[in-house]
Structure 1
Amino acid sequence: MRQLHFLLLLFPFCLSAQGGFVSSNLPIILIHTNGQSIPDEPKIDAVMQIIDNGPGQLNNINDAPNHFNGTIGIEQRGSTSNFFSDKKPYSIETRDASGEDMDFPLLGMPAESDWALLAPFNDKTLIREALIFQLSREIMPWAPRTRLVELFLNGQYEGVYMVTEKIKRDKDRVDIAKLKATDLAGDSLTGGYILKLDKTTGAPNEGWISPFPSQPGGWQTTLWQVEYPKPADLQSEQKDYIQQWITGFESVMNGPDFAHPDNGYSKYIDVPSFLDFTLINEMAKCVDAYRISTFLYKDKDSNDPYLHAGPVWDFNIALGNAGYCTAENPEGWIIDFNQFCPGDNWVVPYWWPRMWEDPLYRTQLKQRWATLRAGPLSDTNIFGKLDSLTQLLNEAQVRNFERWPVLYTWQWPNVYCCGSYEEHVAFMRNWLKARLEWMDANAKTLVTFETPGSLKETEVFPNPSADFIYFTLPEYSYSQADLRIFDLNGRLMEQVQMVSNTSLFTYDARRLPAGLFGFQIIQEGRVVKSGKISHIP
């Protein structure tokens, strides 16, 4: 430790001779490992100093470190982003003088000890993840906060990095109950848990293989990993509980009544969080969505009994930056990944697309998209943030690409290969504009009131009607069916159980205002009839 403190005194002088680098409008981070190589794991001891003179101020390489000046643990992080990148991402842990974890408010973010230093490399705009995280923070309870910085490692300039909050249980991150080793029964056993669908590289997690195939008829399996609590803290009773709970959810999603209003998926999941997670990933057309780098969490029942989707993570190959499995095309839903790449090792678990089979879920997606487009995901907000980020990097990106001259070389899995920084940004901007236009047009078709051809024999009469409307459906009994009534914007007006021992059901239209409405009849989790009805005074 004395050697590390000695380095704290010498380190600033070792950097003053960096060729051409004088100052930056971004915070400057200086890390020295005392000659050690940084492994994938475990973390090694290092010294970190940060120069940050505040908003609007330049940070000079010869300034004294005025934000952080102490010891850290550091290791490489990431799977694909590490393997395909010469510019390595890192995990860091702020520590006190005795080497213990120490919470610290890095660069104005809430105090914590665990952080990620993300390294945009194949994303030649350098801002894809920063942009999506910024937008997500306006939509979701929490998404990682970030700060763009310039990094020196052992005296060598390493380019633009992004200090990022790691996904972790914390009152300022994923705010769920702390699960103690003694929480083995009752309400305390029910949460909180953070789960992950991902590859198995990186830090080992406890987990289990789902008893259901990832896709019907496929050979792939779904690995559920417990991100929190960590393996050393997770008790067998806790693992058994969350595994059984998730398997119960999967069983419902694998059954005929998955969309039942009382006993279907809505009994298990926080639907609004799934809508937001889906729409932000669809907007970015993230090729990893739903299957890799996918997090979910559950609090204890007395706080919130539902499974939440999120937080979001990993968008460096989103927004038109992945040239495979149709991710390069601004058209099409990425939820359909399995249709285009059914042989991939990591496919989308069946329960994600199954939700889209429920007309009510699609209706809610349509409504939520319209709401977001009028606010956080408006063109003004999205492209305003994009412009602010690129302006922030106006000078730093030049130094970054002098260190990493990749602007005119293909890097996996680029779609747009070669051009200036401004041209890479323009490509992403144009792709995103086309994506938003496609989603605007196709979100409207998520709710349809057209009936499949084989079911068009069904009669709805009288229509229009001033009072009662009768529904008949050949070969079906309504003993286990639901009738859903929507306005023409797709908003659910009413849902009633169609209790009848015959194929005739009577609906009292007097409960509706005058006008035209869509309807859907749901039986065994599928639409067996849809169309329009008219109520007249």
Structure 2
Amino acid sequence: MNRITFIVAFLAMMPLLLTAQTTQLTGKPIGTTSVDYSTGKASTTVNTPANAFDNDPNTFYASYQRSYGWVGMDLEEKHVITRIYYRPRQNWGSRLELGVFEGANKPDFSDAVPLFVIPKEVPDSRLSFCNVYCSRAFRYVRYVGPNDSRCNISEIKFYGTKAEGDDSQLYIPGSLPVVTIHTEKGGDITSKEIYQQGVVSIISDGGKSIYSDSLNIRGRGNGSWTFPQKPYKLKLFHKKRVLGFPAKAKQWTLINTYRDKTLMRNLIAFEASRLLKLPYTPACTLVDVFLNGEYKGIYQLTDQLEVRKNRIDVEEMTPEDNSLPNLGGGYFIEVDNYANQEKSKFYSARFGTPVTIKYPKDDEITPAQAQYIKNAYDRFESRTFLNSYTDPNVGFASLLDVESYLKRFIGMEFTGNTDAYFSVHMYKKRNDPKFYTSPLWDCDLAFDNDSRTYPINSMTTFVSLSDKCSTVAGMKQMLNRILGVTKKEMSAYWSEARNNNDFTAEHFTAYIDSIAKAVDASQKLHYTRWKTLNTIVTLTVAARGSYKAEVDFVKDWIGKRIAWMDNKIGLIPTAVTDLADATIGNINGSEHCIMIRNFKAGSLLQVYKPDGTCIVSRKTAQANEDVQIPAGFYIVKVTEPDGKDARKKVLVQ
């Protein structure tokens, strides 16, 4: 049964439920410490929790703490809550916007789940109400005020039925899964180093599934940690395939969406990674996040980048692995401009490139292992700059998986990521001398969202080779060196994705539309919480006035970007994927024409644009012909009557 069907069925039952809820539930008022506004100090006699249940619109509850204050009731027995009435403090209807009602069965609310989010400001002249679609029964219920509101509320009335309840239907504010976290200390997560212990519940499948576990949580990120919406690292107590993701793991990441007005740029990048068939694409989905009862907006729940099956899938090492062959891997490193902030790191011999050793972990890696991976990277760097660097046996390709390196480059260029070589993840397997490059990561400023490189499609060079990009020391030199001799391979990988893997504007449009539909209800709450939709945030380009306008911009831009990439990289249409040198006749580009020489009369001549459009298809009348055509890049195929063909990319001046 889908969520819509369930709600229809639930609404059909409402008359019976309302009959059962004619009596308001009673219990003991509970809440955080109150404030006396006249003194600004904590109080036990003024604005207390009892005021929220006294049926007097002239009194109100107010918490001493400005955020994460709450007021509620101990019902003494479990009840299924079916309706809640609420009224704001007079003249302060705005202070109920994004307030959250929760239910729990532990007095510290560590097992609480949301019952309802108040979506907008409410009138203070009367009681407002919400119907509650949650089949779980609770002994404890509460209202958590929105950020910086002192939890001001005048009246609350809970209605429901005494019951044991079940988990057949739980509340979600929109269509996205819900991640709700309660920590022992309460309040915000303020440290990237110190974990707080708590409990997480993940509600999915339209509210029909829930998974709960204890966890440790801390902040994460570099630049993203400076924003009001904070990113988090989660460490569950038990390994779990969260939301059906491939990896069974304890560690997960909540990435904030503060600078990305579409809320999905990272997801689009991951979809590109999947279509390019990179070795690893992180699992990811959008979720609504609640922290200690406060709505925190939409996040991306995704894999923690770590060594694990179905993540960075290399051999796990122990401190005893200090000699070959075990010393050879696996390793996971990040070429990283923030490496100086990390414990386990090195700087490359030639350029002083900063590299963080992500695995083995900094508290487990041995000196021998640290030295081995540094030496391995230094050898790769050195071979890239040998005179014989193109030799497959002694050059860069002997120590680099060229396919993953080029596919990551293509993916990052497709997204237009200014910081593509500010951070590069690489890994090395045991008994394999090569470094592999994956995944795509950190794309919230991609898709023309970065003021440093906007407008990207007007560039004539790749973003990562431009003067405007951000790179780690040595990366641009290495990139120029490798790309200069791998153009044919890059064209083949790009064309494979375009021709065979549905890497098309139509595919991305459908993909984006599906996300936009799923996120629609929640994005309204998100932009009520974070007033960024009409604000130009750090390094971003524009505020286009609506969520739809932001999504439409990206869809339009992707179509243009694919055409730009087709022309820049060189799309090989399906009919001419074999670019072997011609063994019959000659095909050459010249000024304003394509010259066809020494083919049999009656041959089939086909000329393609880089986007795969066939613009010429006809039989030749003689052995030598000139095809008059505007300047540009073309792919030509000539098939003689006996089936032999010649194919060539040409440039017409």
- Residue 323 of structure 2: which of 185, 189, 193 is its match? 185
1:324 is matched with: 452
1:349 Cα deviation after fit? 4.2
Preserved CA contact (<8 Å) 1:410 1:418: no
1:431 is matched with: 557
1:515 Cα deviation after fit? 4.3
TM-score by length of 1: 0.74
**Closer, same or farther in 2 for the Cα pair 1:357/1:71, shift >3 Å?**
same
Q: How does 1:408-423 map to 2 (within 5 A)?
A: 408-423=534-549
1:86 is matched with: 228
Preserved CA contact (<8 Å) 2:339 2:355: no
Preserved CA contact (<8 Å) 1:26 1:150: yes
**Closer, same or farther in 2 for the Cα pair 1:371/1:156, shift >3 Å?**
same
- Residue 264 of structure 2: which of 119, 127, 139 is its match? 127
**Closer, same or farther in 2 for the Cα pair 1:234/1:490, shift >3 Å?**
farther
> What amino acid maps onto 1:351 in structure 2?
M
1:51 is matched with: 203
Q: How does 1:383-402 map to 2 (within 5 A)?
A: 383-402=509-528
**Closer, same or farther in 2 for the Cα pair 1:518/1:281, shift >3 Å?**
closer
**1: distance between equivalents of 2:221 and 2:429?**
27
> What amino acid maps onto 1:24 in structure 2?
G
> What amino acid maps onto 1:268 in structure 2?
L
**Closer, same or farther in 2 for the Cα pair 1:417/1:348, shift >3 Å?**
farther
Deviations 1:19-67 (A, max 9, x none): 2396321111111123254112121112212222x2xx3x3xxx8xx52
> What amino acid maps onto 1:44 in structure 2?
Q
**2: distance between equivalents of 1:325 and 1:394?**
29
- Residue 367 of structure 1: which of 455, 467, 492 is its match? 492
- Residue 161 of structure 1: which of 299, 304, 323 is its match? 299
**Closer, same or farther in 2 for the Cα pair 1:320/1:346, shift >3 Å?**
farther
* Residue 261 (1) aligns with residue 392 (2): yes
**Closer, same or farther in 2 for the Cα pair 1:8/1:177, shift >3 Å?**
farther
Q: How does 1:191-206 map to 2 (within 5 A)?
A: 191-200=329-338, 204-206=342-344
> What amino acid maps onto 1:19 in structure 2?
I
**Closer, same or farther in 2 for the Cα pair 1:116/1:316, shift >3 Å?**
same
* Residue 270 (1) aligns with residue 401 (2): yes
> What amino acid maps onto 1:111 in structure 2?
K
1:199 Cα deviation after fit? 3.0
* Residue 315 (1) aligns with residue 443 (2): yes
1:350 is matched with: 477
* Residue 235 (1) aligns with residue 366 (2): yes
1:75 is matched with: 218
**2: distance between equivalents of 1:311 and 1:381?**
21
1:32 is matched with: 182
1:211 Cα deviation after fit? 2.1
Deviations 1:458-489 (A, max 9, x none): xxxxx989xxxxxxxxxxxxxxxxxxxxxx96
TM-score by length of 2: 0.61
Gaps of 5+ in 2: 1-103, 120-129, 131-170, 573-578, 582-596, 600-633, 638-643
**Closer, same or farther in 2 for the Cα pair 1:16/1:152, shift >3 Å?**
same
1:327 Cα deviation after fit? 6.5
**2: distance between equivalents of 1:256 and 1:346?**
21
Deviations 1:136-162 (A, max 9, x none): 134123211012111111111111111
> What amino acid maps onto 1:35 in structure 2?
G
Higher mean displacement: 199-208 or 243-252: 199-208
1:514 Cα deviation after fit? 7.1
> What amino acid maps onto 1:366 in structure 2?
S
> What amino acid maps onto 1:362 in structure 2?
K
Runs of 4+ that moved beyond 6 A: 488-491, 516-519
Q: CA RMSD in A?
A: 3.1
**2: distance between equivalents of 1:14 and 1:366?**
51
**2: distance between equivalents of 1:166 and 1:107?**
14
Gaps of 5+ in 1: 96-101, 214-220, 450-462, 466-487, 492-512, 520-529, 531-537
Preserved CA contact (<8 Å) 1:298 1:307: yes
**Closer, same or farther in 2 for the Cα pair 1:314/1:35, shift >3 Å?**
same
Preserved CA contact (<8 Å) 1:7 1:47: no
Q: Percent identity?
A: 24
Max Rg structure: 2
Structure with more relative contact order (C-alpha pairs < 8 Å, separation 6 or more): 1
Judging by fraction of residues, say which structure has more strand. Answer: 2
- Residue 404 of structure 1: which of 530, 543, 558 is its match? 530
Preserved CA contact (<8 Å) 1:78 1:202: no
- Residue 242 of structure 2: which of 93, 97, 106 is its match? 106
Preserved CA contact (<8 Å) 2:195 2:218: yes
1:10 is matched with: 109
1:505 is matched with: none
Deviations 1:129-185 (A, max 9, x none): 012113313412321101211111111111111110011111121111111211111
Deviations 1:499-519 (A, max 9, x none): xxxxxxxxxxxxxx7747689
1:494 is matched with: none
1:282 is matched with: 413
1:386 Cα deviation after fit? 1.3
2:428 is matched with: 298
* Residue 210 (1) aligns with residue 348 (2): yes
**2: distance between equivalents of 1:490 and 1:307?**
36
Preserved CA contact (<8 Å) 1:285 1:330: no
**Closer, same or farther in 2 for the Cα pair 1:308/1:6, shift >3 Å?**
same
Preserved CA contact (<8 Å) 2:428 2:434: yes
**Closer, same or farther in 2 for the Cα pair 1:330/1:50, shift >3 Å?**
farther
1:252 is matched with: 383
**Closer, same or farther in 2 for the Cα pair 1:331/1:77, shift >3 Å?**
same
Preserved CA contact (<8 Å) 2:354 2:472: no
1:10 Cα deviation after fit? 2.9
> What SS is found at the alignment partner of 2:557?
helix
**1: distance between equivalents of 2:472 and 2:408?**
23
Preserved CA contact (<8 Å) 2:307 2:316: yes
**2: distance between equivalents of 1:173 and 1:345?**
25
2:20 is matched with: none
**1: distance between equivalents of 2:473 and 2:257?**
23
> What SS is found at the alignment partner of 1:87?
coil
Deviations 1:425-458 (A, max 9, x none): 11111221111111111212999x9xxxxxxxxx
1:17 Cα deviation after fit? 5.7
1:370 Cα deviation after fit? 1.1
